[in-house]
Structure 1
Amino acid sequence: MLSEKSAQTVRATLPAVGAAIGEITGSSYGRLFAAHPELLRDLFNRGNQAAGTQRQALAGSIAAFATALVEHPEQRPDAMLARIAHKHASLGVTAEQYHVVHEHLFAAIVEILGEAVTPEVAAAWDEVYWLMANALIAVEQRLYEQSGTRGERRPYVVAARTAETADVATFLLHPADGGPVPAHRPGQYVSVQVELPDGARQIRQYSLSGNPDGGLQITVKRVAGDPAGEVSTHLHRHVDQGATLLVSAPFGDVRLDDGDRPVLLASAGIGCTPIIGMLGHLAETGATRRVIAVHGDRQESAHAFREEFEQLVAKLPNAEAHVWYERPEQERPADRTGRVDLTGLEVPADAVAYLCGPLPFMRAARTQLLAAGVPAADIHYEVFGPDLWLGQDS
């Protein structure tokens, strides 16, 4: 791993670099897109860039990786690397692009930290970068080999479109060439690329929300706000049955374990999409393991897959459902009104948990599960967009 000389330098400079890492990554992206505008147009999420969340995620991952190298030199943070690698593979990131990012990242480090970046400091952080980059390149290469792709997207035809709620739609996709769909696991996602009115070919990742015969199924919530979600709005307004979309192979490191341990599936809002896919898989395979299915939403009319959620739980012989609504439209028990609270549930300590939803929801759920005795290693989560939780312990 990190050489002893570099480890000492990184340990000494980590506070200064960590304090400035957000400013460094912001400058780095500015330099990168000035030199390569096509990357912002066709690879990076323009909404995340405008909001600053991608910058935060990159800063967090670099700081977490460097901290892990100096605090646990005998280990490599493989879980963090896998999360990033799967995201990169679904976007089609190439090994050459790591060299481009390196150029602008280190120019930004020199710009922000100035004379503090001695040759020794630069060499140590260069070693950190390439340890992380080369590890990711190796993982991504394996993922490409397993998927039989190099990150390219394949044309799929929209066979059907179904409205789940006023702002959530499900798209059933069949390969345009009539060939088989790639193998995938419950919990994984695909990336979808669309051409927007300004010519940008933006990419977004969507969880597989079901396992239809001969196709893939994604469910998309239209992202409101200012600015509104570019791709989700485009899909809702312009994509209907018969349209063609470019879709990647499925990727994702959060996948349902097929063992017989008790399983907790907890979601909030549109986080229901990978969870409903997991529930569907359990029902299709006749699972007899204990299943605790939990969901939280604003109200009944906003709950996508509400009826399917109830039906799938009913098909499982050892399953229970718990639903919370913050502003219910019908009379409900007080203990199921408001936000999800797992403290009143009997969650076995040997359960494996899968969480998906807004970060505050997942933080609270994880804290409650840890208090119930569920080991941290058995609590898995999926984040839509840049992972601002990456590398954190809580």
Structure 2
Amino acid sequence: MTTAPVAVGEELAPQHAQIISATLPLVGAHIDEITTVFYSRMFSAHPELLRNLFNRGNQAQGAQQRALAASIATYATCLVDPNMPHPAELLSRIGHKHASLGITADQYGIVHEHLFAAIVEVLSADTVTADVAEAWDAVYWMMARTLIELERGLYAEAGVEDGDVYRRARVTAREDEPSGAVLLTVRSMGRPFAAFRPGQYVSVGVTLPDGARQLRQYSLINTPGDGELTFAVRPLGEVSNWIRANVRVGDVLDVTVPFGDLPDPEAHHRPLVLVSAGIGITPMIGILEHLAAVAPATTVRVWHADRSAATHPLGDRQRELVAALPDATLEVWYEEGGQAREGLLNVSDVELPDDAEVYLCGGNGFVQAVRAQLRQAGVPAERVHCELFSPNDWLLS
């Protein structure tokens, strides 16, 4: 499976770019208010979106609201600021997540309607003149058209119709980890799951006691090829907690075909550094499983940070995989000490190959802190490949 390219060929008209540059500070200053009004409007008109598509936990915490609005603002900034990075990476991450949720082109119109109504309501019609509305409308639809094209390409690669990504899958194995994580293996009851790349993820849909169908994404930790998918569930949030408490072997879940844009670790022909914290270990386990199966001679440096040995998910499997690779080493940091380095992960404490490709996964704060350390160590940004277990894709731009 390959990753569909992200084409960002359009450019803003000069008059639109000038207006966007002038109004970005105003929009940014009111971004939280705009998004609160936007989601209130959209969910009032389409309550099924909150029950059946948007993650209610992220909504309650405000994470999803800030993510969507900040992604659009970041995209707009990329269009008008020559010092900003190209937005292709941002759009690729969003497109893969959208494909994993089954987003289709018609839903962009719903977002547009309620987002622009919210902008006018918050900033007032006197501020959002026809020219201002036209400029921001151009930004939104440039972003939307690029994502729609990307997502259609991803659906085509997966061999499915647009949005038709869910499969009924039976649970064939369950393992309860000492760390509290639950490992589930599923097999499609219909068309088999196709091969996937290491580091990819699936969305899992469950129907909760109040009747809402909620979704959560989980990284795959097995090697592809036998038609089964294995993922680890950390009991945090209503979907994950429900899965831990209720799902047993023989049960049936809604599981998507895999998506995710972490690059193929074999494509670089360079040493790899796999950096994770907490449940961010899961895509790294998937990469290690892949290397152990097909490229055991790869030079790999594995770094993991956790609160303690007791909370370290998949720790035994991580050590087994590192031991199986002749040129692999493992460094572990525990905040509470123990049989590891004590404290927070520090890049300057360990060997960093000069030409390494770095894969990084964890919470927002961890990813931002480690990226800064890698930048200080001289690692080029294009050799750092990140995955966030949150909706804040814009943080990685």
Structure 2 length-normalised TM: 0.93
Q: Give secondary structure in 2 for the equivalent of 1:304.
A: coil
**Which amino acid is 1:266 matched to?**
V
Aligned-pair identity in percent equals: 50
1:349–1:375 contact (8 Å) kept in structure 2: no
1:265–1:291 contact (8 Å) kept in structure 2: yes
Determine the structure 1 residue equivalent to 2:283.
Answer: 274
Determine the structure 1 residue equivalent to 2:19.
Answer: 9
* Further displaced range: 26-35 or 205-214: 205-214
| Mapped partners of 2:382, 2:61: distance in 1 | 31
Determine the structure 1 residue equivalent to 2:318.
Answer: 309
Answering whether residue 391 of structure 2 is matched by residue 386 of structure 1, we say: yes
Question: What pairs up with 1:239-258 in 2 under 5 angstroms?
Answer: 239-258=247-266
1:22 Cα offset (Å): 2.0
Q: 1:82 aligns with which of 89, 92, 99?
A: 92
Cα distance change of structure 1 residues 391 and 373 upon mapping to structure 2, 3 Å threshold:
closer
**Runs of 4+ that moved beyond 6 A:** none
**Which amino acid is 2:256 matched to?**
S
| Mapped partners of 1:221, 1:305: distance in 2 | 11
Determine the structure 2 residue equivalent to 1:226.
Answer: none
Answering whether residue 219 of structure 2 is matched by residue 211 of structure 1, we say: no
Determine the structure 1 residue equivalent to 2:42.
Answer: 32
Answering whether residue 166 of structure 2 is matched by residue 161 of structure 1, we say: no
| Mapped partners of 1:189, 1:305: distance in 2 | 17
* Further displaced range: 168-177 or 145-154: 145-154
| Mapped partners of 1:363, 1:13: distance in 2 | 27
Q: Give secondary structure in 2 for the equivalent of 1:210.
A: coil
Question: What pairs up with 1:273-292 in 2 under 5 angstroms?
Answer: 273-292=282-301
1:3 Cα offset (Å): 0.7
**Which amino acid is 1:26 matched to?**
T
1:151 Cα offset (Å): 2.6
Aligned length: 382
| Mapped partners of 1:109, 1:73: distance in 2 | 27
The root-mean-square deviation of aligned C-alpha atoms, in Å, is 1.6
Q: Deviation string for 1:243-287 (max 9, x for gaps)? A: 011111101112332132010001111111111111111111133
1:151–1:248 contact (8 Å) kept in structure 2: no
2:179–2:313 contact (8 Å) kept in structure 1: no
1:2–1:73 contact (8 Å) kept in structure 2: no
Q: 2:354 aligns with which of 333, 349, 373?
A: 349
Question: What pairs up with 1:175-214 in 2 under 5 angstroms?
Answer: 175-177=188-190, 179-211=191-223, 213-214=226-227
1:44 Cα offset (Å): 0.4
| Mapped partners of 2:364, 2:60: distance in 1 | 19
Question: What pairs up with 1:66-145 in 2 under 5 angstroms?
Answer: 66-72=76-82, 76-114=86-124, 115-145=126-156
2:96–2:261 contact (8 Å) kept in structure 1: yes
Unpaired segments ≥5 residues, structure 1: 224-228
1:110 Cα offset (Å): 0.5
1:374 Cα offset (Å): 1.1
Q: Deviation string for 1:139-170 (max 9, x for gaps)? A: 01101111112333001110010011252000
**Which amino acid is 1:324 matched to?**
W
Q: Give secondary structure in 1 for the equivalent of 2:67.
A: helix
Q: 2:163 aligns with which of 136, 151, 155?
A: 151
* Further displaced range: 250-259 or 346-355: 250-259
| Mapped partners of 2:239, 2:84: distance in 1 | 42
Q: Give secondary structure in 1 for the equivalent of 2:154.
A: helix
2:362–2:387 contact (8 Å) kept in structure 1: yes
Q: 1:230 aligns with which of 214, 225, 238?
A: 238
1:349 Cα offset (Å): 2.5
| Mapped partners of 2:363, 2:75: distance in 1 | 24
Determine the structure 2 residue equivalent to 1:295.
Answer: 304
Q: Give secondary structure in 1 for the equivalent of 2:220.
A: strand
Q: Give secondary structure in 2 for the equivalent of 1:180.
A: coil
1:49 Cα offset (Å): 0.5
Determine the structure 1 residue equivalent to 2:70.
Answer: 60
Unpaired segments ≥5 residues, structure 2: 1-10
Cα distance change of structure 1 residues 349 and 80 upon mapping to structure 2, 3 Å threshold:
same
Q: Give secondary structure in 2 for the equivalent of 1:94.
A: coil
| Mapped partners of 1:73, 1:362: distance in 2 | 22
Determine the structure 1 residue equivalent to 2:4.
Answer: none
| Mapped partners of 1:390, 1:39: distance in 2 | 25
**Which amino acid is 2:264 matched to?**
L
2:386–2:396 contact (8 Å) kept in structure 1: no
* Further displaced range: 360-369 or 72-81: 72-81
Q: Give secondary structure in 2 for the equivalent of 1:211.
A: coil
2:299–2:327 contact (8 Å) kept in structure 1: yes
